[in-house]
Amino acid sequence: MFDEFVAMLRRQSMQFPDIRPGGNRQLYTVTDACLSAFGVFHTQSPSFLAYQREMHVRKGKDNAQSLFGVAAIASDNEIRNLLDPVAPSHLSGLYWWALAQLQEQGLLSDHHGYDGQWLCALDGVQYFASEAIHCDNCTHQQNGDKTLYTHHVIAPVLVAPGHDYVITLEPEFLTPQDGADKQDSEQAAAQRWTKRNAQRFAPDSVTILTDDLHSHQPFCEWLRTYHLNFILVCLPGSHAFLYEQIAELSKLNAVSESVINRWNGRYREYWTYRFVNDVLLRNSADAMAVNWCELIITRADTQETCYHNSFITNHRITGQNVASIVSSGRARWKTENENHNTLKNQGYHFEHNFGHGKEHLAAFLLALNLLAFLLHTALSLTDATYQRIRQALGARKTFFGDIRTLTRYMCFDSWSVLLAFMFRGLELDGSP
């Protein structure tokens, strides 16, 4: 899949805009700039291109060329200049192509949640902040006489209970919108993403997961307009009217409750599920009716509350499905643990400023980084050699440390040759 993915990226990059006036002094192409930058993210080596320039001087060849098809490695500044005019939307098709490949191979057949639905977690995250560097696409926050310039993105992922990986989908960047008086927001970005991509899935086959920021009537109605279901975190502090209803219904014993006794391997827990259907989301004549549930996990010996969260959903809740619905709602946290945490702290340098630019550079480089993360996820599902090596090396950091070292000192004819070298070096059973 690596070779197919890089080939797709190459074909896509050949359609990128090139605003240079032309002439015979153009030594580097936008395609080379794109593939060079992708190589940095795929190898998790900020110095990858510098190492390959040095290697080319010594050996007359390099890994940027053999692994990623880079004909000539431009300087870092030249790469930034070439990629700055390219909007990240030019890469959108690659996310959906990778998802389709995984589906066709049957590798996501159990990557679902309640009622066999896709669980799509929408969560906003900041990836750049500065008081000095900024561009026209920055969001700005005034704090006294200081202005903080930031970039945010909605980074959707497909999650599933019981799975420790997520599938990265096309992101939605928060940028100033044409004709809008206000700055862009996570709510508006989430609406744009769902409107553009809902038709990629069968109607009512996707359940959207979000935090409490989005669990309000306009967004719930928006999702249902596009035949998307939802399980959204719903907190008392922002839904006073809804929780007043629940309190009154509790007094009437109209809130269903069940308690499950579980042993977690260290101590016993009580899992208390509570739910009620058809409560009003807000205090208005046109209020939308939603279904509410919560889970409270209590340690049996100390009575300490270990977990407590509540959700609203359009799925009808029963005693038979409440646990499955809550489990799907809780899977939203995988976007923090398996997505944001990995990108920020496991080598992808998510919040590092690889280049800000004046137009799209910051967002475009972030999109390439997300694609590198997606490709490694796909390889962990499709490539047996890759799987064996990752398993043998254990920590992700060790694997990428080896990749950085090997590609600095040795030139490999292809990605598969690199993996085969690692496989044999680890003396793993079988053949790569």
User: Which carries the bigger pLDDT value, residue 97 or residue 180?
Assistant: 97
Binned at pLDDT 50, 70 and 90, residue 273 comes out as: very high
Contacting residues for 125 by C-beta, under 8 A, at least 6 apart: 152, 153, 155, 340, 350
Token readout for 289 is 């009716």
Of 311, 342, 373, which residue sits at a domain end? Answer: 342
> Is 178 or 320 the better-scoring residue by pLDDT?
320
With beta carbons less than 8 A apart as the criterion, state whether 329 and 311 touch: yes
The 10s digit of each residue's pLDDT in 139-162 is 888 888 889 888 899 999 999 999
Residues 292 and 276: their CA atoms lie apart, in Å, by 5
Residue 108 lies in a domain: no
Q: Is the pLDDT of residue 10 over 90?
A: yes
| Average pLDDT score over residue span 253-270 | 94
User: Does 409 lie in the same domain as 271?
Assistant: no
β partners of residue 312: 232, 292
How far is it, in rounded angstroms, from Cα 105 to Cα 311? 34
Whether 328 has a pLDDT exceeding 60, the answer reads yes
- pLDDT at residue 25 greater than cutoff 70: no
What's the whole-number mean pLDDT along residues 358-366?
93
142 and 199 in a single domain? The answer is yes
Residue range 83-106, pLDDT digits in tens? 999 999 999 999 999 999 999 999
Whether 333 has a pLDDT exceeding 70, the answer reads yes
Q: Has residue 237 been placed in a domain?
A: yes
**Same domain (yes/no): 135, 201:** yes
- pLDDT one-digit tens code per residue, 366-410: 999 999 999 999 999 999 999 999 999 988 889 999 999 999 999
In the structure encoding, which two tokens stand for residue 104, read together? 């066709």
Tokens 């004046």: give the residue: 358
* Crossing angle (nearest 10°) for helices 30-43 and 361-382: 60
Tell which of 342, 374, 398 closes a domain. Answer: 342
Q: CA–CA distance from 294 to each of 145, 158, 221, 316 (Å)?
A: 44, 22, 22, 14
CATH label of the domain that carries residue 314: 3.90.350.10
Which residue blocks in 300-394 are alpha helix, DSSP H?
Answer: 322-330, 334, 341-345, 361-382, 384-393
pLDDT given at position 396: 87
- Pair 144, 292 in one domain: yes
Residue 48 half-sphere exposure toward CB, CA atoms < 13 A: 28
CA atoms of 87 and 103, how far apart (whole Å) = 27
Domain membership flag for residue 118: yes
In terms of domains, do 233 and 141 share one? yes
Domain that holds residue 287: 113-342
Q: Nearest Cα to 131, choosing from 152, 154, 147, 109?
A: 147
**Is residue 69 in a domain?**
yes
- 131 falls in which pLDDT band (50, 70, 90)? confident
Same domain, 191 and 244: yes
Residue 352 has pLDDT above 70, yes or no: no
The Cα–Cα gap between 291 and 302 comes to: 31
Residues in the chain: 432
Model confidence pLDDT, tens digit, residues 57-76? 999 999 999 999 999 999 99
| Sequence-distant (≥ 6) Cβ neighbours of residue 316 within 8 angstroms | 277, 291
Domains held by the chain: number: 2
- Establish if 378 belongs to a structural domain: no
* Residue 210 forms part of a structural domain: yes
In the predicted model, is pLDDT for residue 348 greater than 70? no
pLDDT for the residue 92: 95
Q: Which of 313, 342, 371 marks a domain boundary?
A: 342
Q: Mark whether 17 and 69 lie in a shared domain.
A: yes
Task: Decide if 359 is inside a domain.
Answer: no
Mean per-residue pLDDT, 220-225: 98
222-224-225-227 Cα dihedral, nearest 10 degrees = 130
Question: H-type helices in 14-145, by residue range?
Answer: 30-43, 48-59, 63-68, 76-83, 92-104
Based on the fold, state whether residues 217 and 312 are members of the same structural domain: yes
- Quote the tokens at residue 429: 């059973």
H/E segment holding residue 196: helix 186-197
